Amino acid sequence: MSNKSIIVIHGGAGTINQSSMTNEKEKEIRHSLSKILLGAKAVLENGGTAIEAVTEAVRLLEDDEIYNAGKGSVFTDKFTNEMDASIMDGKTLKAGSVCGVATIKNPIKAAKALMEYNNNQTVMLSGEPAQNFAKSQGVEIVDPSYFYTAHRYNQCVLAKEKAANKAILDHDGENNQIKQKQEESNVSTTTTVSVSISNGDGYPLDNNKKHGTVGAVALDQYGNLASATSTGGMTNKKSGRIGDSPIIGAGCYSNNNTCAVSTTGTGESFIRAVVAYDLSAMLEYTQMSLEEAGNKVIHTKLPLVDGDGGLIAVDKNGNFIMPFNTEGMYRGYMKVTDIEPNVFIYKN
C-alpha cells in the first residue's frame, strides 16, 4: 500500500484578475475549495479508492453554485442547462461519460454508474437516454428548474444582447474581443469568442462568477489513479454543443502506468489536441517528467490550436502538477498527510 495518497481539484481556469476580486468573494472561493478538498481527503483517509475520491470531489463542486457544473451550470442559447461529465479508472481503463443532460442532479454520478454498468460495454450516453439510464441506476433526477440561478440566467441574457450569436467562454474573456472578432469575420453563424460583459451585479462574465470546467484527480493508498471532469459548458452555447469534458482522452484520462488528468479551457482546442491523453502518452513513450510534459502540453502545444486553459494531473508516484496559460485557475491539493488544504487562485 502507498502513503502517497493525494487529491487534486480544479474549478476552472481563465481571466481571474486579483484586482477585480473582492475580499469577500475570494474568501468564499478559498473556503469552498478547502471544504471540497477536506471532503475528498476524508474518502482517501477512510480507505476509499481514487474513483470514490474524485467522484466525491466533483459531486461537491457540482453542488456549489460558484462553479460552472451541476447546480451552477450556465445557460444555452435556448435558456436550458445542458451538462457533461466523465470519469476514468486508471487501474482498469474503464470509463463513463454523459453529455447534454438536463435532469441529473450530479452528472458525475451518472458517468460513474455507466462506467460500472454491464462491464463497461457502453462508455458514453447523451441526452434523454443518459437521463433514463441514470434514473434506472438510482442516480438522483431533478426538475430542470433545480439548475436555475439568477446570475447565470442574467449572464445569458446579457450575452445575447451584447454578443448576438456568440457563445461566451465561461472560463475566459477580454474586453474588446466582440468588436475585434466582428471586424475580422463578417459571418453570422454561431462563433465562439471571449468577452467581458458586466452583468449588473458587479461580476463581469470573465471574472468571479463563472469558471469553466471542474475536475479532480487522485492517487489512493492502493496505488490506483482516477480522474473526473464535469461542466455546464459555455454561456449562450448552441444547444447540443459538446466540449472536451465528457470526451475520454481530451478532457479526462487516467492510466495507472502513467497519470490521471482533468482539463479545463477552450473545449474545442482541447479536443483537437487530445490534451489529456497526450500528457499520458508523453510519460509512456518518452523520458519526460510529469512537470515537463504538462508544461509542454499547456504552454507549447495547446496554443498552436488557439487553446487556453489548464489541467491538473497526478502520476503513479504521487507527483502532481497544476499548469495553466491563463491569468488564473481555481485549484488546490491535499495529501493524506496534510492537515490543511492547499488552495490557489492566481498565477502567482
Nearby residues of 329 by Cβ (< 8 Å), 6 or more positions away: 10, 11, 12, 13, 14, 16, 264, 309, 310, 322, 344, 345
User: Is 231 marked within a binding site?
Assistant: no
Query: Does the annotation mark 235 as catalytic?
Result: no
Which residue among the candidates 213, 229, 235, 326 is catalytic per the annotation? 213
Residue 337, classified by CB atoms within 10 Å of its CB into exposed (0-12), middle (13-18) or buried (19+), is exposed
Give me the DSSP letters along 83-125. EEEEEEETTT--EEEEEEESSBS-HHHHHHHHHHSGGGS--EE
Rounded to 5 degrees, φ, ψ at 248 are -65, 130
Q: DSSP secondary structure string, 260-314?
A: EEEEEE-HHHHHHTTHHHHHHHHHHHS---HHHHHHIIIIIIGGGGT--EEEEEE
- Read off the amino acid at residue 166: K
- Beta strands 191-193 and 166-168 are parallel
- Paired with 98 in beta bridges are 85, 125
266 is in an annotated binding site: yes
Assigned C-alpha cell, 249: 482522452
CA distance 2 to 137: 32
172 labelled as ligand-binding? Answer: no
Q: Is 243 known as a binding-site position? A: yes
Question: Which H or E run includes 218?
Answer: strand 214-219
For every residue of 69-88, which 3-state class applies, written as one string? CHHHCCCECCCCCCEEEEEE
Q: Is 233 annotated as a binding residue?
A: no
Which amino acid, 65? E
> Between helices 107-116 and 127-136, what is the axis angle to 10°?
70
Determine contact, residues 89/226, Cβ cutoff 8 Å.
Answer: yes
- If we measure between CA atoms, which residue out of 332, 74, 40 comes closest to residue 199? 74
Query: Exposed (0-12), middle (13-18) or buried (19+): which is 339, by Cβ within 10 Å?
Result: exposed
Is 242 one of the annotated binding-site residues? yes
Annotated binding site for substrate: 241-244, 264-267
Catalytic residues: 213
